[in-house]
Each structure stands twice: as structure tokens, then as C-alpha cells.
Amino acid sequence: MRAPAAIFALLLLAISCRQKLPQEVVYTGKKDAPPAPVLDASIPLLDSGTSEVEFTKRALLTAIADCTLDQYRRLETKTATLAAATGTVAVQRAWREAMFAIEEAELFRFGPAARTTEPGGQGHRDQLYSWPLVSRCTIEEQLVAGTYATPEFPDSRINARGLGAHEYLIFYSGSDNACSGFSRINAEGSWAALSPQELAAKKADYAAAIARDVHSHAQALVRAWDPAAGNFHRELSTAGAGSTTWSSDQVALNAISDAIFYIENPLKDLKLARPLGLSECANDLCPEAFESKYANASLQHLRANLRGFQRIYQGCGENGEGIGFDDWLGAVGAGELAQRMTSALLVAIATADNFQPPIETALITDTQQVWTLYNAVKGLTDLLKADMVTVLNLELPQIIEGDND
Amino acid sequence: MFTRAVDIAWLAAFRVLFGLTMAFSALRFIAYGWIDDFYIRPTFHFKYYGFEWVQPLAPAVMHTLFWALAALSLCIAAGFFFRITATLFFLAFTYLQLIDVATYLNHYYLACILALLLAVSPAHRAYSLDSYLGRVEPLEYLPQFWLSLFRFQVGVVYTFAGLAKLNTDWLLHAQPLGIWLSSRTDTPLLGPIFAEPWAPLVMSWAGFLFDLTIIWFLRSSRTRLPAYAALIAFHVLTRVLFPIGMFPAIMILSALVFFPPDWPRFHRFSPSLAPASIPVRRPLLAAALLFAIIQVALPLRHFAYGENILWHEQGMRFSWRVMVREKNGAITYYVRNKDTGRVWPVSPNYYLTAIQARELSSQPDLILQLAHHIRDDFQKNNKGPVEVRVEARVSLNGRPSRLMVDPTVDLAVLEDSISKAHWIAPAPLGAPPQLTPIKLSLSDR
């Protein structure tokens, strides 16, 4: 009896010795400086992740499923407006509004929006907006060939469809093209043969075809999620309890976590780092790497991305009300982390909202301001990568299923 | 005692099971596309100290090598040209492990050791094609020495895996098990238990006591069978809960060495037919002694570095510290041109695959290696000379992230070595957080 008694005593000792988390300190690397508290005193503490309703993963999954359907319904409304719009000014305004909804929806790339290789994926996102896969030359070749007017257009090359191609068609008014001399449109002179009126008419027709195609995919997304139709809503909200797409709630939540890592890549590493010359840039700065080349809407896209993140992380309401990942953090006992992440998110949103002038101009005239935005986003992604995935035991995106020990 | 004659059947059975397990393992690599993911796709590989010269072969050769490994494994199982095939398997498998530190796993290391022990043992002298074809003289007995050697190796794994859990995070705060179990509350049957607040602590202690005591229960004839049943249950549970690949299979088959040496036979082995003793050559004994010293010294070397090994990771590898920490980080390098003063923040993702980046974020020596590679890359592209510093924010067992590397140190001028790395920042002192498991829904209570 002695051994079991000793083990029991040890267990009791262990339980009684469990400590409360003391104030953590950060190593500053400066020998003379005192350790700095992890929680930056300059960032206000917010009521984050402290919902009074008891949190469950099912509630979170259902809230995100509701939010996703709401997001796609708003997108469908915007793409309907775009498809019906006539006249340059109205089409351009409708494009900006549709793009805001698309860029918010970038953070919802799971289920039917995801690629067909992903669980439940139907590839709708790439059909709506294939950036960074957009080829101006391919668009111009298809414009001359009139591909947009053929029944095969919805199955044609993805880098010449979607709202990325649409942007070029409705915002770029130049008469040049981006193809080399070897391209058929230049070698045979078919591009040069187009009069300015013919070019404008073809662009308008092409843009209208894209708008119809985009709207059909937005409708398909709504149908896929709608409880009265495809009911993917149920697949997500019952993950681990009847869902045929996700065998466990954690796997489904991991798919959502992968989707919100959009703010790391491409938002930080592609949309901001490349123009700043941090990667794949031969010069000090690469303004041509900005997302919106013709409408100068790159900053608006970033703002929408951050709003999309907020809708999943904080909650789907206008100012983050509702159940989100912050409530999950709060429920597991990591309320402080939830507050730090919310603060970092609000700093990033405020930095983007207060940004002046357009980011394409600011990169040249006020590079420091772009750096400030980059660092604000990095502050959020650091917490996401190091802290949130640890506490919630989420896998990082693109980690292949491999052995461990 | 090493010269006492024992039945060879245990070793032949071990050879067969090991060969089949390794063949399956090689085929898994092929089927899952891991050859490309681990060896071909990366443009940069992390190197072991002293083995910087080991490089991956051409893609076609790497794929061929895995088919060859599967074939060699089957030859080992069959005991066909055993000395050659087992030696080739050991060399090929070890070569694969040396290509990239980011692929290190304790059970791959164990497979290397077991392959080495098998290759030098007389495992092909019974129940093998070599003996059937008359290539070697069959044996019925071998000295106790071989059984003791294998038992020692398996004992080392369990014992040091248990000792690795002898820390406050594991035993007092139930981390990282608390983090892991909290995400598995929808596991069939066991999920509701994992959602109970006491479950992580009880399971932490159970794992610790299991690892530390199991070999002693396996050694006793009275407790062996229930202990082995518990061992199977333990490893099956860990396989259900965690992606630990072949590790449970290797340990379940390895633990068979604690059974009587004639366990594979239908009829009991009769000691009266065995010779009284079989001599063991002195060089072999000396080599085994050296091997044993190394196997004990390697897991203990972390004491030379002090502080928290889970943080600095000096002495972490080859120490059987299996699944003892949850660590994630956000790493950004800052490269500064010494002439112009221009600073570039550099993401590791630019150089690494996702799985390499994950390993990097928890292991300081890999951070140093990539710093050197970034230095060389910048200088090759006429952006040098440069200084390379790193901001490595790392969370250990759920603690708030903090800097793991001194951000003021220029890593470009540091050399990798086995001495204590003073450029690694002190470990966090506080306890890890107490996290509450979340149920799937309220009706799951």
C-alpha cells in the first residue's frame, strides 16, 4: 500500500502547488534596462473575449457559419449591383463596393470558397478574384479574340477572369498592351487594328461578361452555404458531430485558423512587404507590386482584409460584437492574450483607416507611413503565430500532415 | 552473465518485425509524398554540427533510395544477405536523417540505433533465408550479451523519456498536455474525460510514471503480461491522440525484448540443451560499453548547459525528450548593410518550407544557421557586408511569447558550436497558464 499512498500524496502536492500565472516579463536584450512588461501599457485593455454566455466550440463554429453566409449574401448583393451597372462611373463604383466585400471574404477561404483540394472546397474564391494570378497580357489577348463572348468563357484561363481582370478593363484607359512582340495580337497586328472605340466597346463587353460570371459564383457560394439549399452551414456547425467534411471540431477550427492567417500571407508578406522591397524586388521599392494597379484601391483592400479578420476573430457584428476567436481565448483562460490581440488588431485597423494619401503614392512620398502600417500588421501576426496557435493548439497553415514526437 | 546461452528466437523475431515496420515506414514516405516535401522541395537544409557536407541527392535518386530502403527492409525481415542489407539500410537511413535537422524525430533516431545493433548482431543466424540457403551456419543460442544490449537500449528510451517529464511544467502545471487535450475534447469515448479539468494533470503523472517504471514491470515475470498490455494501450492511445507516426509500433515491438528469449517458439525452450556459456569477444564488449556510455551521456549532457532545456534546446536532440513541449514562434530577421545602414526585415518563409519554418521557430541553433545563410545570400547578391539580428518571439507551453534570442547580437559573426550559447535569452521564469478545456457543446456534459 505504500507506493499507491505515496503516489496519491504526490498528486495532492502537485494539485496544491499549481500556481497562478505571475506577471510575465520580456527580455529586452538591453543589459541596463529593466524587463519590460509583455502588456504594452500604451495599448488600452479592452473588454475582449469575456462574453457572459458560456462558450462552446459548437457556438463558435455556428457563429462563423452564420457570419460566412452573411458575408456571401452581402457579396451577392454587391455583385448583382455590379452585373447590372452601366456607365463607367457606376461600374467603377460598383466594382469598389464588390471588391470591399470580396476582400473581406478573403478571410473566409474555407469550405466551398477554398480550392477543390481542401475539405469541402469548390474553388469559388479563385473564380471570383484570382489575385495574385492576374495576367494583363492574357486579358488583352482574350479581349482581341473575343473569348469573353463564347460559351467557354467561364472555363477559360483564370488569370484573365474575375474582379482582378475586371479592374484592368474598367480602370485602364491606355491603348497600349502588355504583350511581347511574339504575342499573336502584336505579331499579326490585331491589337493595333482596333480603333479606340472598338477597344472601349470590347472592354465594356468583356467587363460585363466578367461581372455576370462573378455574380454567378457569388450566387453559387450563397447556395452552397444556405441551409435551404447546399447547407454547408450545417457541415461547419456540426464539425465533429455529424459533419461529413470535418471529422472533429478542432480540424474545422484549424481550417478557419488557416484562413485568417491571410493577414500574415498574403497581406503582410505580399501586399506590404513586396512594395516595401523586402522580397522579390530588384529595387529599393516596388510600387508595381501593390495589389490594385489600376484603381489605386490597395489601401481599401487592406482595410477590408482587416475587417474580415475582425469579423472572425472578434465577432461578426459591426464593431466585433458576437462570438469569435477572442471568446475562445477568453474561455480557455487566455483572456489577457485575447485583449492583446484585440488591441493589436484595433491598432492595425486604425493605422490603415488613418492612412493618407493613397498607399501607392505614400510608398514614394512617405515610406515611413507604409512601414508603420507593416509593423502594425506584424504586431498582430506575431501574436497570432506565436501565442494564439499555441494556446488553442492550432496548426500553422501549409504544415503538411507528418509524423511528430 | 553476458555469456549465458539464451535462445536466439527473440532476436530473429525482432529482426522480422523491425524489417517489416521499416518497410512500411518507407512506403508511407513514398505514398504521402514526403520525399519531395522533406528532401527535394526545400532550397535550404539545416545541418548537423560536423555533418554540413551531407547533401540530398538528385530527386530521382532520392525517390529510388526510398524504394531501396523498402527493399532492404524486406531483406532484413527475411534475413537475406543480412549483413550487407542491414548495413546498407543503416547507412542509408542515417544518411537521410543527416540531410536536414528539421526532419529530426526521436523515433527515426531510435530506428537508426536499432538498425545498427541489428546489423552487427547475429540476427540472421535463425529463421532466415541466409541460414536456409546455407549462406551462414544456423544458431540456436547466442550469448545473453545481445539480449542485454537490446534491453539496455529500450530501457534507455523509456527511462530518459520519463526523466524528461521531471519538470514543473509537466508535473505541476500539466503542460503541454493540458493544451493538447483541450483540443481533443471531441475524441470518441475519451473526449468528455479530456474536458475535465483534472484530466491533464492525472494523465501527465500517468505518462511520467509509465515511462519511468514500465521496463521494471516488464522485467518481472509476474507483472510482464499486464505491463505489456498497458504498454500497448498507452502507445495506441498516444497514436490516436497525436501524429507520432511509427513511434508506437517501434516501441511496441521493441518492448518484446523484455519477454523470455524463447517467446516466439510454440514450445518452451529447454535450457538443458543449451551450452553453459558462449564467449563474447572483448572488442565487442568494449564497443558495447562505449555505446552504453554514449547512450547515457547524451541525454544527460543538457546539465552542462543549465537552465531550461525546453527553452534553449541545447542537449535536446538524441535525448528521448518525446512530446514534452509545445512551442511556437514568430521569427523576423533584420539584416543591416554595414556600409549604407539600410535594414531589411526578412521573413524565414522566404527561405524555408512551412515545416522547416515551424521547426526553426522553436530551435535557437536553427535560427543561427538560417542567419548565416541569409548573410551569405545577401552578400552573394551584392547587398553585403551585412549584420543579421533576429526578433524571435516564442511561446513555451502556452506562456506569453517573449524573445528567445538576444536581439542585439549580430548572428552573422557568431559560429555554431556545442558550447553554451550566451546569445540565447533567459528562459521565462513564470508558470505556464492554466488553460480550461472547452467542450464541443453544452449538451456534451
| pLDDT tens for the 445 residues of chain B, in order | 899 999 999 999 999 999 999 999 999 999 999 999 999 999 999 999 999 999 999 999 999 999 999 999 999 999 999 999 999 999 999 999 999 999 999 999 999 999 999 999 999 999 999 999 999 999 999 999 999 999 999 999 999 999 999 999 999 999 999 999 988 888 888 989 998 989 999 999 999 999 999 999 999 999 999 999 999 999 999 999 988 889 999 999 999 999 999 999 976 656 567 788 999 999 999 999 999 999 999 999 999 999 999 999 999 999 999 999 999 999 999 999 999 999 999 999 999 999 999 999 999 999 999 999 999 999 998 888 999 999 999 999 999 999 999 999 999 999 999 999 999 999 999 999 988 888 766 554 3
**Closest residue on chain B to A285 (Cα):** B344
CA atoms within 13 A on the CB side of B245: 23
Contact B183 A392 (CB under 8 A): yes
Q: How many CB pairs under 8 A join A and B?
A: 208
**Which chain A residues touch B358 with a CB distance below 8 Å?**
396, 399
For A318-357, how does the pLDDT look when each residue is reduced to its tens digit (9 = 90+)? 889 999 999 999 999 999 999 999 999 999 999 999 999 8
Contact B332 A378 (CB under 8 A): yes
- The residue among B106, B110, B102 whose CA lies nearest residue B46 is B102
pLDDT at A10: 44
Q: In a 3-state reduction of DSSP, which class is residue A15? A: helix
pLDDT at B383: 87
Measured at the CA of A370, the angle between CA A364 and CA A375, to 5 degrees, comes to 155
Could you give the CA distance from residue B42 to residue B39 in angstroms, rounded to a whole number? 6
Could you give the CA distance from residue A143 to residue A154 in angstroms, rounded to a whole number? 14
- The residue among B9, B136, B20 whose CA lies nearest residue B83 is B136
For B214-230, how does the pLDDT look when each residue is reduced to its tens digit (9 = 90+)? 999 999 999 999 999 99
Could you give the CA distance from residue B186 to residue A34 in angstroms, rounded to a whole number? 44
For B118: left if phi > 0, alpha if psi spans -120 to 50, otherwise beta; the answer is: alpha
Phi, psi dihedrals of residue A237, rounded to the nearest 5°: -70, -15
Cell numbers that stand for A81 in this block: 449591383
- Chain position carrying cell 542585439: B408
Contact B172 A17 (CB under 8 A): yes
Nearest CB partner across the interface for B430, out of A24, A27, A394? A24
Chain A nearest-CA distance from B25, in A, is 11
Nearest CB partner across the interface for A332, out of B32, B425, B435? B435
pLDDT at A31: 36
**Which chain B residues touch A249 with a CB distance below 8 Å?**
185-186, 440
CA B18 to chain centre: 16
pTM listed for this prediction: 0.89
pLDDT at A40: 37
A26 pLDDT more than 70 = no
For A252-299, how does the pLDDT look when each residue is reduced to its tens digit (9 = 90+)? 999 999 999 999 999 999 999 999 998 888 888 999 999 999 999 999
Phi, psi dihedrals of residue A287, rounded to the nearest 5°: -60, -25
pLDDT at B272: 61
- DSSP-derived secondary structure letter, A386: I
Q: ipTM for the complex?
A: 0.88
For B380: left if phi > 0, alpha if psi spans -120 to 50, otherwise beta; the answer is: alpha
- DSSP-derived secondary structure letter, B152: H
Q: Centre a 10 Å sphere on the Cβ of residue B312 and count the other Cβ atoms it contains.
A: 23
A41 pLDDT more than 80 = no
Contact B425 A27 (CB under 8 A): yes
Sequence-ordered list of residues with C-beta below 8 angstroms from that of A49, at least 6 positions apart, any chain: A326, A327, A328, A329, A330, A331, A334, A335, A338, A339, A342
Interface test with A, best of B179, B436, B441 (most A CBs within 10 A): B441
Nearest CB partner across the interface for A56, out of B328, B344, B440? B440
* Segment holding A36, helix H or strand E: strand A36-37
pLDDT at A24: 38
* Segment holding A362, helix H or strand E: helix A359-365
**Closest residue on chain B to A12 (Cα):** B172
Pairing type for strands B5-7 and B327-337 reads: unpaired
Cell numbers that stand for B61 in this block: 535518386
pLDDT at B76: 98
**Closest residue on chain B to A277 (Cα):** B344
Q: Which of A26-30, A247-251, B147-151 has the lowest mean pLDDT?
A: A26-30
Chain B nearest-CA distance from A17, in A, is 7
For A42-100, how does the pLDDT look when each residue is reduced to its tens digit (9 = 90+)? 333 344 554 556 799 999 999 999 999 999 999 999 999 999 999 999 999 999 999 99
Beta bridge partners of A26: A36
For A137-185, how does the pLDDT look when each residue is reduced to its tens digit (9 = 90+)? 999 999 999 999 999 999 999 999 999 999 999 999 999 999 999 999 9
